[in-house]
Amino acid sequence: MTVRRDSDPSRVWLDFHKTAELAALPPLDHRPRRSKSSVA
């Protein structure tokens, strides 16, 4: 990760670099999960 300053002092930039370890992980499932509530 690289941290950079911005011209605005209240803001910084974070650059995340893709590594081989992260590339080997399966993609995340961002779909919302359904709750398993019972209906009486």
pLDDT tens-place string over residues 1-29 = 889 998 998 999 998 877 667 667 777 77
| Whether 12 contacts 1, CB under 8 Å | no
Residue 40 has pLDDT above 60, yes or no: no
DSSP secondary-structure letter at 20?
A: H
Question: What is the structure's pLDDT at 12?
Answer: 92
Question: What is the structure's pLDDT at 22?
Answer: 65
Which 3-state string (H, E, C) describes 6-27?
CCCCCCEEEECCCCHHHHCCCC
Question: What is the structure's pLDDT at 34?
Answer: 74
Return the higher-pLDDT residue of 35 and 4.
4
pTM over 0.75: no
Question: What is the structure's pLDDT at 9?
Answer: 87
> Which helix (H) or strand (E) is 14 found in, with range?
strand 12-15
